[in-house]
Each structure stands twice: as C-alpha cells, then as structure tokens.
Structure 1
Amino acid sequence: MPDRSESESRKLLGRLRDAMASSGAGQERLDRITTLVAESMGTEVCSIYLFRDRDTLELCATEGLRAEAVHQTRMRLGEGLVGRVARAGRVVNTADAPAERGFRYMPETGEEAYSSFLGVPIQRLGETLGVLVVQSREAREFTSDEVYALEVVAMVVAEMTELGAFVGEGSALEAPHQRPATFRASVGQEGVTMGHVWLHEPRVVVTKPIADDPEAERARLSEAVERLRVGVDRMLDGAAGGDAEHLQVLEAYRMFANSRGWLRRMEESIASGLSAEAAVEKEQSAARARLSQVSDPYLRDRLHDLDDLSHRLLRLLTGQGQAAESEMPADPILVARNIGPAELLDYGRRLKGVVLEEGSVGSHAAVVARALAIPLLVQADRIATEALNGDLIALDADQGIAHLRPDESVATAFRDKMAMQAAAQERYASIRDKPAEARCGTVVSLHMNAGLMADLPSLESSGAEGVGLFRTELQFLIRNQMPRRSELSALYARIMKAAQGKRVVFRTLDIGSDKVLPYMNSVDEPNPALGWRAIRVGLDKPGVLRMQLQALVRAAAGGPLTVMFPFIAQYEEWRAARAEMDKALERERILGHPLPASLEVGAMLETPSLAFASRRFFEEVEFISIGGNDLKQFFFAADRENELVRRRYDTLNVSFLSFIEQIVDRCAETGTPLSFCGEDAGRPIEALCLAAMGIRTLSMRPASIGPVKHLLRRAHLGELREVIAEAKARGEQSVRPAVMDHLRR
C-alpha cells in the first residue's frame, strides 16, 4: 500500500481517536465518526448501521442522509445492499447502486441522489456487528486504497462498539453483553442447572485500537511473533516421535507463524494507524470471515489453524486470555466454541453444565459430559461470542435452551424448577434400596451406564444393581497415544473392585463415526454413522481388540467377567468377535494367567438387521443389549444429530414398540437375557412402556434410576400393556397420549 494512503489513514484514525476521547454520549460519538469519514474520504454521505437484533439492521448515524431517518430506517439481514454486506461479510463497491442486484430504495433517507456506494462490514473476530457505508453523487467505483481505509475505520468502530463507546437509546445502541439472550441448541446430555459463565477461552479485549507510533507497534508485533515462533518450535520438539496427524497440525502452525504474507498484512494495518493487537485482530477477523465461506474440510482446518495462531498472538500482545483457575465461580457453567475430551475431564465434576457453539450430540465432549452427568448443550450458535465471564446463565438441557443473563422472572422459574427436582431426588432416595417392583409384582432390574472410574460411587448412591454398560473408549479418546495393555488391565481391575461384586458389562472399543482416536488416521466417509465403526474397526484391525480383551481377562484375575461387542449387524460378525475372545482366553491360559471363573459374552443389537438373524445367533449369544440410541435412528432413518429430524419420531411409535416386542419374543424363545440401554431407558414414561413390552433390564444414567423406579413402583404393567394394545388396535401412530391418559387416572 502506498505511503500516501498509509499517511491519510493514520491522520483519519488520529482524528477518530481524538473524537472518541472527547466527552459525549454514544450518539454524539457516532455522529462525529460519520462526519469525519465523509470529510476525509471526500464523499457526501457516510452512514453507520448496527444490528438491533440478530436479523435487523438499524441506521444509527449518518452524514448526508436525512437526519429524521436515524433510528427509523431498518432492514432485514440480506435486504438491500447494506443487508447484503452484513449477510455475506464482504465489501460491496459499485458505481451504480440502483442497478445492483438486491438494491432497495429507502425513500425516507433521501439517498436517491447518490449513485456510488461502498459498504464494508463492521466485524470483530468474524462476528458482524453492522455496516459502514459511504456514498457519493459521482458515479465511480472506490479505489482499493479507499476500500482499505474504510475497512480500517470499520475495524476501529467494531472495537469501540465492543467497548461500549456508543451506548445510548434504542436497541441498536444498548450496551453490549448486557441484554438477556436466548439460545436454541441440541441436547448432548439432559439436565437443568443454573450458574455463572466460565469461558474456556476468555475473549481478548483490545482497549487501544489506534496507535501514534507505527515503528513502536511494528517492534511490539515483531517481538510477539518471535515469541510465538519459539513456542511453536518447542511444541514441535515436544511432539517429535508422536503421531503424524498431530505433527501435521503443528507444522501448519509453524508455516503460518513464519508466513511473510501474514506478517506483511498486519504490518500494513499498523502503517495505516492501528495498534499491533488491532492489526492482529483485523487479520483474525478476515480469517474467520473466510472460514465461514469455505466448504473444503482441508482449507477449513488450515483457516482454523490461522485463527488459533492469531488468538495466541493476541494473548502474547495483551497478556489477556489466561484467567486464573482461582477466579472460577463456585457454580461454573463452561462456555466454549468447542472442547476436547481431555480438557473437559480436566475441569471434571466442578462444572455445573457445558454449552458449546460447535460439537455434536455424539461428540467426544458429549461422551465425557454423559460420563460426568453434566448437562450439555451443543450447537448454541454465537454463545461464546456473546457471553462474558461471570454472566448468569440458565441451562434447560431437557428442552435444548440456554438463557444468558436471564431476566428475574426466568431466573425465578429456573430456581423453582431446580428446587422441585431437588425435592424429588429426596423422595427417590427413600426408595433407593427397594426393588423396582410394579404393582402387578413384576420386578425390573435397573442398571447404570458408566465410562469413568469416577462414576462407580454412583452405584451405591443411585441404587443401581450393576453397570449395564461401561464405555471403554473414553480411556482411548482422552490420550494422545494408544494406552498400554498393562494400563488398561489395571484400570479394569480397579473398576471391578469398586463395583464390589456387582455385575459390570464392559463394551469393547466403540470408535469410528464421530469418535475418532486422536492418534488414529481418520477415514473420510460420506456417512460415518453407517460406516467403518465399532466392531467393524475391531475385526478389520484386530490388534487393538485382542489387546483389550486380554486386558479384561487379566483384570478379572479369576473372577467373573462380562463383555459385549458393539454394533453387531450380522451373525458372522458375532462369530468372528467371539472367536477373538476365545483366542484371548487361550493365550492367557498358555501364559499361565488365571481365567475368569465365569464368562458372559454378549452383543449389542443396534441395527434392525440383527433382529432378523438366524435362531443360532440367539442361541449362542449369552445376552443381548438393545442399543436404543442407534437402533432408533436406523429404524426411522433419522440422524439423531440432525435437529430437523431427530425429534420427529417418537420412541412410543406403534411400529417401533412392535419391533421391540418382536425382539423380546425372539429372545424369549431361546431364553436369551435381554436388556435395553440408551437415553430412552432413563425416561420414565418410555422406560415404563419398554417394561410393559417385556424388557426386564434397563440401563441408564445414574440420575435417572430414581425417577424410573418411582414410576415403575406405581404402575401395573399388565394394565399398561392392555392400554398399548388398544391404542395399536385403534390405529394410533403413537401410544403416548393413551399411556399418559391412563397414568393420570
């Protein structure tokens, strides 16, 4: 960029800084900016549009348009040229605005006299806060220097907006991060809780966007970049000999850290008048804007790398972003764009809840949250941008809603709901040691799901009769390298000992789909949920499966052992998996290690195909556990991570219950023990209907055992089965209304 334009940009930013430093309300400051920009750029019009809500832009200040249009002219996101700039996050530069696609004439502004139009997004870290516009009568396109100068001004306006410099009357000028906000999200783990925000990566606030001395700022940037490069080199040295994928990420970091183009763009911003941190943030905002437009997975990963590197550089320049753990509130609810399983485990049970902008209901973080029994919401768009440390937040992870900075009426309703749940838990504690015996005399065995050693104390506190599912993949997911057999054996032994003689069903490694080991080469599949996962991986790559089975046999140390294989889809897979178990037993016998006193080997029925397997399968398998989450999504062909369809189908749908009944009958014919494991097992109404269909063992999260037992003890399963049969005979799609009506009597 020529020195002349750099000098002009510095002069303009200097005048803006002086204007911001003077006293006055937010509206006065906005008015000064529009006047200064119009004068400096030689245009008749300069206008600032800010969002009043997520979908509506409002004209908040103008030089050149009619004054009475301020706070009156509004447009929807995507509407008109201004709305187009806001939606795409890109510059619109045209000599003939009325001829442009999407142009919308606003008669109250008097803009019909102006032909040329230049609009740039007011962005901060990829979030568009508004649009900065200049217009002139002369029909011309603005030069690249003029576009750049306006982008620099927009960057400063974004920073000042973030700092609350324009607070005034009207929704668009309310103080940032103070309004109540509601976020719809997907449920990763159910529960209701309220607490205060703890940001996994606290936002870096640039308090000085404009600088006087470009050379001093260049020196600050150069020093910070050098420290960044040294840090990346140390990470690479520490990762030497590690897995290739991790090394590739760090190599990409080093490539960006040494990129002359990256550094040059930031130096140009400094030359135009920005401080070093503002220049870094401008480049980071550009990377995030590009990220939102890229569909290619490789390019998205590289832009993520650049975004993360910019954030590290900002922390070095400002000293911000590393909040001390001692500052964590007593009731922390973690808010983050995303988080890995190991990081979530580091926080542990101190957290009251977790809300993520990204992630999925089957992600690694969701697996850990379920193991820790922490309410989790995922796909809460923009919450990490909107939330600040210490904000009050209420999570309804039953309904998929997060209330950030709720008003008093919402907060009171949440406190009442939590008090009612606490009272209910006290009632459930009184029946903890009593059987789940229905009024008809039928007893249902209630077990808990687990995945961590820390879950085992819940065996006693919840009243669970055993562990119906122990997820063994967590120990693999939270590490950067494959665990050794001796480590797994020691862990499994501690789990069996902590169970104090109660049955623990170990599910072998269930990876693939959304659970990819960090040290395992990922496979790009068009539909991972239906792809190479669970037992399919174990049989194709038997080394890990054999190692895990040997570890389980050694952990039993001559005691009882129960193992089940996940995602068995056909009889041949069961035979191959069972053969691996026999090989492990024979190897341990040859080595002189004690064999289990009793051994149960079962399979998870998660695909409809297995329900139609030959009778021989049902005769050979020692038990079957219905994996309700996967079976339901495959039965209805409805992805459980897709919010558009996952709630569309009811577990109490007549066709699904009939299918469950068919599985119950097949198991009864061969005397094969049957259980049901999944989210629906822990929902009292669903659990009651599953029991009425003939399932006598249910496995669920520990917190669900009390509510399920409470309802089972009040119900008559024979009467309920008749209600279900009558609803079927009437041709009803779901038996839920009939069941609910019966229970209310």
Structure 2
Amino acid sequence: MSDTRSGSRRLLGRLRQALAEPAEGQERLDRITRLIAEEMHTPVCSIYLFRDQETLELCATQGLNPEAVHKTRMRLGEGLVGRVAASTQPINTGNAPSQPGFRYMAETGEEIYSAFLGVPIQRLGERMGVLVVQSKESTPYDDDAIYALEVVAMVLAEMAELGAFVGEGAAMAAPHQHPVMIRGSIGQEGAAMGHVLLHEPRVVVTNPFADDAEAELHRLHTAVDELRISVDEMLTGADLKDKEQREVLEAYRMFANSKGWLRRMEADINRGLSAEAAVEKEQTAARARLEQVPDPYLRERLHDLDDLSNRLLRLLTGQGTDSGVETPEDPVLVARNIGPGELLAYGRGLRGIVLEEGSVGSHAAVVARALAIPLVINAERITTEALNGDRILVDGDQGLVHLRPEDSVAGAFRDKMAMMTKAQERYASIRRVPATTVYGPTIRLDMNAGLMADLPSLRSSGAEGVGLFRTELQFLVRSKFPTRGELAAAYSRVLDAAGGKRVVFRTLDIGSDKVLPYMKPQDEPNPALGWRAIRVGLDKPGVMRMQLQALIRGAKGRPLTVMFPFVAQFDEFRAARQMLLDEIEREKRLGRPLPKTLEIGAMLETPSLAFAPLQFYELADFISVGGNDLKQFFFAADRENERVRRRYDTLNVAFLTFLEWIVMRCRETKTPLSFCGEDAGRPVEALCFAAMGFRALSMRPASIGPVKHLLRRSNLSEVREIIDDARAHGAQSVRPAVMDWLRQQG
C-alpha cells in the first residue's frame, strides 16, 4: 500500500511540475505522455481528445508513431479508445486485438503492443477524451496502474477546464471560449440577449495537487462534519408528515454519512490529490457507475450524490455562495432544472431561461409563460458549456441558444429583436380597439394568467379579460397546503387588479406534470391520462370544497366565474357544479356575501366531452376548449414527447373538423364557446379558429397584439372558403393554402 501511495504521489508530483513549467498546449501534452510512460514503466502512453462531440483525435503520444499525431481519428464508440469514451468506463486487457470492436490503426505502429489500458478523461459527466497506456506484455495492467491512470486522467480534465492545453500548436480548443449553438425545444416564445446567470454555478478546482496530506485530510473532515450537520438540520427542520418524503431525506443523510465515500476520498488525498480534487474524483466515478445502472431508483440517487458532492465542494472552496456570484444586469438563467418557487424568487428581472431538462408542461414552463420570459428547454449540455457571465442569446421561437456568439450572429439577433420591438409598437396602437374582422364579426381576445404579476398585462396588452386564471400556481409555489383564508385573500386581490373585467378561475388542475411538493406522488404508468384535475377534486371533496369556499369569499359580492378542468363526461361536470351550488347555499346560510352573478363552465380537453349528451351543453354556462390537452389526446401524441408532438399540425383537417363539431353543438344550445391554449396565441391558427366559428380566444398577453393585428385585416368568409376548399381536395392540413392566401393579401 505504501509503495502504491508513494508511486502515485511521485507521479502527481512530476505531473504538477510539468504543468507548472511555461509551455504551449502541445508541448505540455507531449511532456505528460513522456513522464507517465516513465513513471509507469510502460512503452506507450497516448492522449486522445474530442475534436467534436463525435470525433476523437490522437493529440499526443510517447511510443507510437509521432507522424500519427493529429492525423489518427475515430468516431465515438469506434475501436477500444472509442468504446472507453462512449461507456466512460476503463478497458483493461492483455490481448487488445481479441476485444470486441478492436480497430487496427496502421499509421500508429501499435501492432506490436498487446496489453491495453484506457481510462476516460472526464469531469462530472463531461467527456473530454481518453488516456491510454500500452505494452508488449500479454497481461492486463494491475489495479494500482488503473488507479494511477484514473487519477492522472482526472487531473488532466481539471487542467483542461483551466485552459492548460491551449495556445500555439494547441492540442485542444480553449474550453468555454469558443461559440456554441445548442438546439433545444420551445418552452416559451420570445427572444432575449444577455449574460449567463447559473442557477448552480460550476465549482472549479484550481489546484488538484496537495503537498500536505494531513492538512488536506483535516480540511476534508471539517467540511464533511459541517455537511452532515446541515443535512441533519434540514431533516429535523422539515415538516415531513409523508413517509416517502422522510425516506428520501433519510437516504440523503445516509449518503452524507457513508464511510465508504469518505474512505475513498481519504485514499485519494493520501495519493497526492487536494481535498477538492478528491471529492470531484469520487463524484465523477460515481456518476459514471450509476449512469450505467438501469434501475430508475438508483439513477435518481445520482442526483442526491451530486448535490452532496457539490455542497461539499462549495464548503471546501467557498465558490458558488451568494456573495461569490455577481448577478449581471441582463441575466439569462441557466439551470439543469428548477422548481416554480425557485424560479419565482428570481422574478421578472430575468431576460430569458435555458434549461437542460424540463418539458413544455413543467412547472418552470408554466411560470415562465406567466412571467412572459423566453424559455428554451432540453438544451443538452448547456450547464456544462456555460459559465457565469458568458454572453448568451435565447431564441424561444426556434428553440435555439447561442452561447458566446460571433459578432455576425449577435448582429443578426439584434436586428430580429429590433423588428420585434417595432412590431410591438405597432400592436400598441391598436390596443384599445376591438378585434373586428373585415365585414365582421368581432372576436373577443382574453389573456391567460396564473400570478398577480400577470394582471398589469390586462391593460398593457389590450385583453378584454382573463379567460383562464390557473389557480394551481398558488399551490405549486408553497411548501405546504395553503389555508382557505390565504386563498380567499389571493382571489380577492386578483379581482381587485382586474378592475371589473371578467376573470375565469380554473379550479385546481394538479396531477400529470403538476405535482404538489407536499402531496404524495402517484406512481402511474401514464399520468397525463391518470388521476388529475377534476378527478382529484371529486375524489378529494374536502380540497375541492375548500377552494370553492375561498373563491366565493374572495369574490366579496362581485361577479364570479368558475371553470372545471379535464371534464371527461357529463356526470363529472354535474357533480362538480352541484358542489359549487351547495357551497353557495352554505355561505348564504352563514350570512356571508354571495357573488353578484355566478357562471359555471367546463374546459373541453377530452374528445369524449364533445359527444356528451345535449344536457351538458345546456347546463354549462360556457365552454372553453383546452387546446393543449385536446390536441394531444386527439392525435394520441404526448405533448411532452419531442419525437411525436411536432408530427401533427393544429391546422390538420381532421382536427379542424372536430372543432367545427364542437362549435355546432354550442350554437345549437347557444352556449358561449372559447378556445384557450398556446395555439390561440399563434396568429394563423387564431385566424382559422375564428373562421371555424370561435368568437372568443384566450392566450398569453404578448400574443394579443399580433393576433388582433391579423384578425383586423382578414375576411373570415374568405378564410373559411380556403379551408373548405382544402378539405374538399383531400388536403391533410389547411396551413399551406391559408399561408398562400395570406401572402397574396400582402
């Protein structure tokens, strides 16, 4: 053990000296391969680095043909080197040619070497390359050699992060300096430019080496003790009535108290690493192991281990504390994912949001839409690529992110934003005029909301009212269930801010992608089709009644409009409606003020409700088509699934014909009908809905201007003729025909 430890320390000592001496990037890599070969008594040491995400290049070697440097390349997964990079796991063999996937590189002269050991050069899941040693011996390398090479690979990754291998004749591009374009998914339309504000800043280990192992061990133990105390306090202070939540935090505490985790970090320090480098080495190794595990529960624990390691690194380095992060004047938030409460804490000061994960229906997306902040989701590797303060452009209309953009890209983006600003100025001039189409009729344009912060948009956007107020946001941003009094006060403030304009309160729509943090999650195979919205309310009548009481009391004698979500059959609406009427009677008996008027409606989000008995349409005071859910159920295409959600067009002839059926049934019973959802805010779609007979649309505030602008210039009779003609000729979508007509109209 002592020989292994002293050998590792000697190797790291020489490596530190080589990196400390002034040299260009290529010269440094050449020195490193020489000293590794000498210290490990192996004839070959080579470093392969990524040229792009799919291509590895031989960038330095001791023992192979030097003419092959910067010429030998392979794809990710190709050959043994490519397999190491793809799996992020070492390959150690005494007979390389016999291994699956072996590829012979004639130009390197490696045919005389039988033994092969390759380890990934990676940092917290970011693959940078592969470090390889080879030998003529027909036996695998021993465990000590594997450990030594993994330590060196980890140090190389840290030094690459700090730019140690860039410069004249550089072996690799300077990290976090070159422009990067990342294609994600649209979470919220709009464009923004600013500077990166990382939600969880990267901790950079500036010195992976240590002279005094005892001092580093003391630093590690002090930080681990502090970490364990903070975890204990978190567990003690949390209001955990739910058994599963307590079990999750107990597992978190178990990780923090793991003796094996601490023992491995101590061993890394004894071999020459600093405390920070030891923590990060074990974090990287754990990530690589757990990412190969098929069990979703174990993979989820990866996040716990990541979080603990990051907390420990911040304790050791002091990086990432509130005092250490300077918020730019034009912040664009970048995060792996974020909860609604955390996002609201940043407020409207954010110019844009970019998430590595997320979904179109996630809490973050709902809040971003409420705040009218451009959002791009599923932006792969953005938290790896971005650093605090980096210049960033967010194109929410295309789902694109430009990090450290070139001047030409930034210039074109500024032009786009200037055009958008000019268009908004044009829309402002028609803010107070109705959306009356050429030769009539007039279309009512309402806005969607979910926060008090949305209400000022009623005046600035020109909306005639709030067609959908999402009441679940008041539940999602809290750590515990709100009281009836708190909700009543909130609803009263909403009506105050609306200034007499109609507000449609949608009752609690939870379940599916909207899970309350204090509610036991339901393990359902398909939650979008599961226990959600009105189904929860009818099964948990105490929750529903409490909210209905809060709505009645919040009205304070003013008009009240309530809408029930996700109704699938007539009986559900009838039961929920009766529950509201019962609460009205109860408030009357208590002598409390009753709403001046009461409207009770339903969201039509399931195809089944379109074919409900006529009595449903007669009983409902109004119906609002929930386009987002209705479209996904109509096409059997999950809107969270990027592979299928864009496959089906809203202006598909079948979908428009289905909407026409709903319009006809509402006309038969004279039931007011509106269309609510993202598509209502897209001008071309809104125009087609109006042509099909919708006389009210509800959308995000920023969309009202563009929609009104197009409606006021269009003749709905002509648009309807275009749609009918396309249907008659068997078109799958009316979009091409409508777009041609719009171009002809100028």
Global fold match (TM > 0.5): yes
Q: CA deviation at 1:173?
A: 1.0
Superimposed CA distance per residue, residues 383-407 of structure 1 (whole angstroms, 9 cap, x where no aligned partner): 0011011111111111111111111
Distance 2:735 2:170 in 1: 44
- Residues 191, 294 of structure 1: alpha-carbon distance in 2 compared, 3 angstrom cutoff: farther
Q: 1:304 — aligned with what? A: 303
Alignment partner of 1:659 is 2:661: no
Q: 2:543 — aligned with what? A: 544
Q: CA RMSD in A?
A: 1.2
Q: CA deviation at 1:611?
A: 0.6
Q: CA deviation at 1:245?
A: 4.4
Q: 2:74 — aligned with what? A: 75
Q: CA deviation at 1:271?
A: 1.2
Q: Secondary structure at the match of 1:568?
A: coil
Superimposed CA distance per residue, residues 629-688 of structure 1 (whole angstroms, 9 cap, x where no aligned partner): 111111111111111111111111111111111110011001111000000000000000
Q: Secondary structure at the match of 2:661?
A: helix
Superimposed CA distance per residue, residues 409-437 of structure 1 (whole angstroms, 9 cap, x where no aligned partner): 11111100000000000000000000000
Q: 2:343 — aligned with what? A: 344
Q: 1:464 — aligned with what? A: 463
Q: 1:28 — aligned with what? A: 27
Residue identity opposite 1:385 in structure 2: T
Q: 1:14 — aligned with what? A: 13
Q: CA deviation at 1:270?
A: 0.7
Distance 1:492 1:707 in 2: 30
Q: 1:239 — aligned with what? A: 238
Distance 2:464 2:295 in 1: 49
Q: 2:586 — aligned with what? A: 587
Describe how 1:627-706 pairs up with structure 2 within 5 A: 627-706=626-705
Describe how 1:329-408 pairs up with structure 2 within 5 A: 329-408=328-407
Q: Is the 8 A contact 2:446 2:697 kept in 1?
A: yes
Alignment partner of 1:279 is 2:243: no
Residue identity opposite 2:666 in structure 1: C
Superimposed CA distance per residue, residues 4-51 of structure 1 (whole angstroms, 9 cap, x where no aligned partner): 211110110001001111111111111111111111111111111111
Q: Secondary structure at the match of 2:687?
A: helix
Distance 2:572 2:666 in 1: 19
Q: Secondary structure at the match of 1:687?
A: helix
Superimposed CA distance per residue, residues 143-190 of structure 1 (whole angstroms, 9 cap, x where no aligned partner): 111111111111100001100000135785111001111111111111
Percent identity between the two aligned chains:
72
Distance 1:207 1:325 in 2: 16
Describe how 1:213-612 pairs up with structure 2 within 5 A: 213-240=212-239, 243-324=242-323, 327-612=326-611
Greater shift after overlay, 161-170 or 346-355? 161-170
Greater shift after overlay, 577-586 or 10-19? 577-586
Q: Is the 8 A contact 1:243 1:481 kept in 2?
A: no
Q: Is the 8 A contact 2:25 2:171 kept in 1?
A: no
Q: Secondary structure at the match of 1:173?
A: coil
Distance 2:584 2:169 in 1: 73
Q: Is the 8 A contact 1:47 1:133 kept in 2?
A: yes
Alignment partner of 1:48 is 2:47: yes
Residue identity opposite 1:561 in structure 2: L
- Residues 79, 168 of structure 1: alpha-carbon distance in 2 compared, 3 angstrom cutoff: farther
Residue identity opposite 2:654 in structure 1: S
Q: CA deviation at 1:292?
A: 2.4
Q: Is the 8 A contact 1:53 1:172 kept in 2?
A: no
Residue identity opposite 1:299 in structure 2: L
Greater shift after overlay, 577-586 or 459-468? 577-586
Paired positions, count: 744
Q: Secondary structure at the match of 1:567?
A: coil
- Residues 469, 685 of structure 1: alpha-carbon distance in 2 compared, 3 angstrom cutoff: same
Q: 1:87 — aligned with what? A: 86
Q: 1:130 — aligned with what? A: 129
Q: CA deviation at 1:244?
A: 4.2
Q: Is the 8 A contact 2:26 2:169 kept in 1?
A: no
Q: Is the 8 A contact 1:121 1:154 kept in 2?
A: yes
Q: Secondary structure at the match of 2:566?
A: strand
Distance 1:543 1:117 in 2: 67
Superimposed CA distance per residue, residues 543-591 of structure 1 (whole angstroms, 9 cap, x where no aligned partner): 1111111100001112110010110011111112112212222222222
Distance 1:208 1:135 in 2: 29
Residue identity opposite 2:347 in structure 1: G
Q: Is the 8 A contact 2:332 2:354 kept in 1?
A: yes
Distance 2:169 2:699 in 1: 49
Distance 2:405 2:138 in 1: 49
Q: Which runs of 5+ in 2 are unaligned?
A: none
Superimposed CA distance per residue, residues 216-240 of structure 1 (whole angstroms, 9 cap, x where no aligned partner): 1111100100111111122122215
Q: Secondary structure at the match of 1:327?
A: coil
Q: Is the 8 A contact 1:187 1:376 kept in 2?
A: yes
Q: 1:710 — aligned with what? A: 709
- Residues 364, 408 of structure 1: alpha-carbon distance in 2 compared, 3 angstrom cutoff: same
- Residues 172, 602 of structure 1: alpha-carbon distance in 2 compared, 3 angstrom cutoff: farther
Q: Is the 8 A contact 1:470 1:506 kept in 2?
A: yes
Alignment partner of 1:153 is 2:135: no
Distance 1:43 1:253 in 2: 42
Q: Is the 8 A contact 2:29 2:171 kept in 1?
A: no
Distance 1:284 1:111 in 2: 33
Superimposed CA distance per residue, residues 596-639 of structure 1 (whole angstroms, 9 cap, x where no aligned partner): 11111111011111111111111111111000011111111111
Superimposed CA distance per residue, residues 682-729 of structure 1 (whole angstroms, 9 cap, x where no aligned partner): 000000000000000000000000000000000000111011111111
Residue identity opposite 1:370 in structure 2: R
Q: Is the 8 A contact 2:352 2:394 kept in 1?
A: yes
Residue identity opposite 2:447 in structure 1: M
Q: Secondary structure at the match of 1:417?
A: helix
Q: Secondary structure at the match of 2:565?
A: strand
Q: CA deviation at 1:476?
A: 0.6
Distance 1:247 1:736 in 2: 52
Q: Secondary structure at the match of 1:205?
A: coil
Distance 2:359 2:5 in 1: 45
Superimposed CA distance per residue, residues 463-515 of structure 1 (whole angstroms, 9 cap, x where no aligned partner): 00000000011111111100000000000000001100000000011111111
- Using the size of structure 2 for normalisation, the TM-score is 0.98
Q: Secondary structure at the match of 2:206?
A: coil
- Residues 325, 315 of structure 1: alpha-carbon distance in 2 compared, 3 angstrom cutoff: closer
Distance 2:143 2:516 in 1: 47
Greater shift after overlay, 295-304 or 5-14? 295-304
Distance 2:244 2:309 in 1: 21
Distance 1:583 1:290 in 2: 57
Superimposed CA distance per residue, residues 423-456 of structure 1 (whole angstroms, 9 cap, x where no aligned partner): 0000000000000000122100000000000100
Superimposed CA distance per residue, residues 317-376 of structure 1 (whole angstroms, 9 cap, x where no aligned partner): 000012448821111100011111101000010001100111111111111111111111
Q: Is the 8 A contact 2:25 2:170 kept in 1?
A: no
Q: Secondary structure at the match of 1:308?
A: helix
Q: CA deviation at 1:537?
A: 1.1
Q: Is the 8 A contact 1:202 1:323 kept in 2?
A: no
Residue identity opposite 2:438 in structure 1: R
Distance 1:495 1:327 in 2: 35
Distance 2:325 2:556 in 1: 43
Q: CA deviation at 1:255?
A: 1.1
Q: CA deviation at 1:527?
A: 1.1
Q: Secondary structure at the match of 2:440?
A: coil
Q: Is the 8 A contact 2:24 2:169 kept in 1?
A: no
Greater shift after overlay, 537-546 or 429-438? 537-546
- Using the size of structure 1 for normalisation, the TM-score is 0.98
